[in-house]
Chains A and B, each alone.
Chain A
Amino acid sequence: MAIAAPSKVMTNVEAVRATLYDALKRDDRVLILGEDVGNRGNVFLITKGFIEEFGAERVIDTPIAEASIVGVAVGMAMEGLRPIAEIQFADFIYPAFNQIVGEAAKIRYRSNGEYTCPMVIRTPYGGGVRGALSHSISVEALFYHVPGLKIVAPSTPRDIKGLLNTAIEDPDPVMFLEHKRTYRLIKDEVPDEYFTIPLGKANVLKEGSALTVVSYGLNAHQALEAAQRLEGEGLSVEVIDLRSIRPMDRKAILDSLRKTHKLLVIHEDNKFGGIGAEISAMVAEEALFELDAPIRRLCGPDVPAMGYALPLEEEFMISTDRMAEVMREMVKY
């Protein structure tokens, strides 16, 4: 009989906290910088108590200036530290755009490998928390176009731990996107021991034979729930959680598609130029004749952001009911 490794049940937000804590403990080069990460312990209390244990030199309350939060971290990374820069909400990342896209992503390339930029940029994203226009944005599509960056968007506590460990050890800049709605909603077993999960490896949440659903973040949980409902109706849907957006797991998508011959991509970020566009193009290039139905994308609408008022937020967010409805249509197509 196999003996289970020691583990704890954690929420997503607790998994972020535990992994950051272990990293600070394990490696002197690791430090955290961002707005309110020290005395306040982060607005979600992710780093609460860290400043007392690791000191204000390694848990830095920065001035409110996102370009320099990332830019200072770039300089630290070039000089041998392993900074974890926090952007308090993904909506505040725009002032740092040049430092991420123009600088961090190009350090290795422009110095021909003489300098590298091993750093993590963590940020909470996504809606469903009454965050209004400026605390609910998804930013992955703005950055996944950029060679030199890696982008992770895990959905479970276990994946958060494994992927954040990988991101911290990675020799290049990694953006680590945490869906806010999942922070306290999602709870699961997380092994106590140190482990990593490679970037670019998707996770099949549920096997199925009639439709492939590709998603990530909060939507991955909803897609799983919708697929489980359909199971009761005798409809077999496979659900893939990408986990990593750049690099992305082509093999997992194509292997599944060759079995189901139908593809639905679901993401909260808006449709035009989104992650689903790239997946659809890849499938069209590599497996067009595997398709028995048109690809569909179920995405956030093309509006600037979700509104504060509940009906405006609900209209923006993709409901589990809506997911089940589209899945049903596609299976029966």
Chain B
Amino acid sequence: MTRRTDFDRHGLSDEQLRSILRNMLMQRGLENRGFQLNRQGKIPFASASEGHEAVQAGAAMAFERGKDILVPYYRDLGLALGIGLTPYEVLLSLFARAADHSGGRQFLHHYASRRLGVQTISSVIAAQLPHAVGAAYALKLRGESGRAVLTTFGDGATSEGEWHESINFAAVHQLPIVFLCENNEWAISTPQRMQMAIKDIYRKAEGYGIPGAGVDGFDPIACYAAARDALNRARDGGGPTLLEAKCYRFLAHSTDDDDSAYRSREEVAERRKDDPVPKFERVLVGAGVMTPSAVEEMRTSILAEINDATDRAETMPYPRSDDLYAQVYGASYNPWQ
């Protein structure tokens, strides 16, 4: 196989590079499946992170399974897949089955698994950030060096008070945490310029006395390198970092949103030209890491895996109506004793 040299792989092996592409293709495939199931009337709701594949697959490669803690937001399928979530678990969540992490209570993409090290989140913007800081505080208090917290959010989250409070708290205590902003330029219908008067979110880091860095969110290797450096600094006691991966949201906010109401088709089409998924395919093929036919085989195997996961998850039972009453408290409980 011929190998080109004009390709900075930041130490990633061929296997890791292929795994990143597989993650990106899997994200797209699973999200496409969500939309199909929604159109078929089988699930009430779907959403996607199309445009976020590179940052999520790249950053996930820097996450150390079994050690690090992930506190994501609700548009982080690729991060979850990258740290070990299976397509079957995703489908259980889409179908709201009893075996889902939340027992079928939560929307899709609200994971909670100690096995994976991913904390439970709500859909309230930036509400998970103080939790990530608390987790990082626990790691530091217990002297568990070599472990770090990775937490993520969108550009709109930076408007929330808890965003500021969390970064400030983490900076004061020099906690082992990386704040990764997936800036897709849109908070549902509100563009970045209506959320803030600056262009580069990572520059806010200076106001907190921590390092900040911007990275091309369409380049998974650059995102991996930025996340790896920041996570290593956190693990080594170097404190928090604010990263901003500039990406784009290609689709509407969710199946309940029509983005043509607030942004032109031309804008979206223009940004599609930089779609990170075909772009990374070309990078790997161009570098000789994969052949075009190997990419096709990967696609085929992903689709087979998604089909299998869909079939298995769909046959699983819903939670029982009695489950509504479970897990309110640690012991059986009635407000009137």
Q: Which of A107-149 contact B (CB under 8 A)?
A: 107-116, 147-148
In the bound complex, do residue B134 and residue A79 qualify as a contact, i.e. CB atoms below 8 Å apart? yes
**Stretch from B1-9, B103-111, B249-257, B266-274 at the A interface:** B103-111
Q: In the complex, what residues of B have CB within 8 A of residue A98's CB?
A: 124, 127
Q: Give B71's nearest chain A residue, CB to CB.
A: A75
- CB proximity of B83 to chain A, nearest CB, Å: 15
Contact of A110 among B112, B113, B139, B161 (CB under 8 A): B112
Q: How far is the CA of A199 from the CA of B331 in the complex (A)?
A: 12
Interface flags for A36-52 (1: CB within 8 Å of B; 0: not) read 00000000000000000
In the bound complex, do residue B102 and residue A63 qualify as a contact, i.e. CB atoms below 8 Å apart? no
In the bound complex, do residue B138 and residue A110 qualify as a contact, i.e. CB atoms below 8 Å apart? no
- CB proximity of A313 to chain B, nearest CB, Å: 32
Q: How far is the CA of A140 from the CA of B117 in the complex (A)?
A: 35
Contact of B137 among A75, A103, A106 (CB under 8 A): A75
In the bound complex, do residue A147 and residue B328 qualify as a contact, i.e. CB atoms below 8 Å apart? yes
Q: In the complex, what residues of B have CB within 8 A of residue A79's CB?
A: 69, 134-135, 138-139
Q: How far is the CA of A70 from the CA of B218 in the complex (A)?
A: 36
B169 proximal to A (CB < 8 A): yes
B234 proximal to A (CB < 8 A): no
Contact of A62 among B71, B169, B328 (CB under 8 A): B169
B165 proximal to A (CB < 8 A): yes
Q: How far is the CA of A157 from the CA of B3 in the complex (A)?
A: 76
In the bound complex, do residue A114 and residue B137 qualify as a contact, i.e. CB atoms below 8 Å apart? no
A296 proximal to B (CB < 8 A): no
**Stretch from A7-15, A175-183, A242-250 at the B interface:** A242-250
In the bound complex, do residue A248 and residue B129 qualify as a contact, i.e. CB atoms below 8 Å apart? no
Q: How far is the CA of A128 from the CA of B127 in the complex (A)?
A: 35
In the bound complex, do residue A72 and residue B328 qualify as a contact, i.e. CB atoms below 8 Å apart? no
Q: In the complex, what residues of B have CB within 8 A of residue A111's CB?
A: 101-102, 112, 120
Q: How large is the interface on A (under 10, 10 to 19, 20 to 34, 35 or more residues)?
A: 35 or more
Q: Which of B92-150 contact A (CB under 8 A)?
A: 100-103, 105-106, 110, 112-114, 119-120, 122, 124, 127, 129-139, 141
Q: In the complex, what residues of A have CB within 8 A of residue B314's CB?
A: none
In the bound complex, do residue A249 and residue B337 qualify as a contact, i.e. CB atoms below 8 Å apart? yes
In the bound complex, do residue B135 and residue A75 qualify as a contact, i.e. CB atoms below 8 Å apart? yes
A115-B169 in contact given A103-B127, A248-B335 (Cβ < 8 Å): no
Contact of A76 among B100, B134, B168, B333 (CB under 8 A): B134
In the bound complex, do residue A72 and residue B169 qualify as a contact, i.e. CB atoms below 8 Å apart? yes
A166 proximal to B (CB < 8 A): no
Max chain A CB contacts within 10 Å: which of B129, B135, B330, B336? Answer: B336
In the bound complex, do residue A115 and residue B120 qualify as a contact, i.e. CB atoms below 8 Å apart? yes
Q: How far is the CA of A249 from the CA of B133 in the complex (A)?
A: 37
In the bound complex, do residue B165 and residue A114 qualify as a contact, i.e. CB atoms below 8 Å apart? no
Q: Which of A53-109 contact B (CB under 8 A)?
A: 57-58, 62-63, 65, 67-68, 70-81, 83, 95, 98-99, 102-103, 106-109
Q: How far is the CA of A147 from the CA of B327 in the complex (A)?
A: 11
- CB proximity of A31 to chain B, nearest CB, Å: 7
A251 proximal to B (CB < 8 A): yes
A67-B161 in contact given A75-B119, A112-B327 (Cβ < 8 Å): yes
In the bound complex, do residue A99 and residue B134 qualify as a contact, i.e. CB atoms below 8 Å apart? no
A312 proximal to B (CB < 8 A): no
Q: In the complex, what residues of A have CB within 8 A of residue B333's CB?
A: 247
In the bound complex, do residue A110 and residue B130 qualify as a contact, i.e. CB atoms below 8 Å apart? no
Q: In the complex, what residues of A have CB within 8 A of residue B12's CB?
A: none
Interface flags for B321-336 (1: CB within 8 Å of A; 0: not) read 0000011111101111
Q: How far is the CA of A57 from the CA of B142 in the complex (A)?
A: 10
In the bound complex, do residue B141 and residue A57 qualify as a contact, i.e. CB atoms below 8 Å apart? yes
Contact of B112 among A75, A95, A114, A251 (CB under 8 A): A114
Interface flags for A211-249 (1: CB within 8 Å of B; 0: not) read 000000000000000000000000000000000001111
Q: Give A108's nearest chain B residue, CB to CB.
A: B327
Q: In the complex, what residues of A have CB within 8 A of residue B130's CB?
A: 67-68, 70-72, 74-75, 99
Besides A68-B130, A75-B134, 17 other A-B contacts (C-beta < 8 A): A63-B165, A67-B161, A72-B134, A76-B134, A78-B134, A78-B135, A79-B134, A79-B138, A108-B327, A109-B327, A110-B106, A110-B112, A114-B114, A114-B120, A247-B333, A247-B337, A251-B337
Query: What 6 A-B pairs come out closest when comparing CB atoms?
Result: A75-B134, A71-B130, A171-B330, A75-B131, A200-B337, A111-B112
Query: What are 15 A-B contacts with C-beta separation under 8 Å?
Result: A68-B169, A72-B137, A79-B138, A99-B127, A103-B127, A106-B122, A110-B120, A112-B100, A115-B112, A147-B335, A172-B329, A199-B337, A246-B335, A248-B336, A250-B336
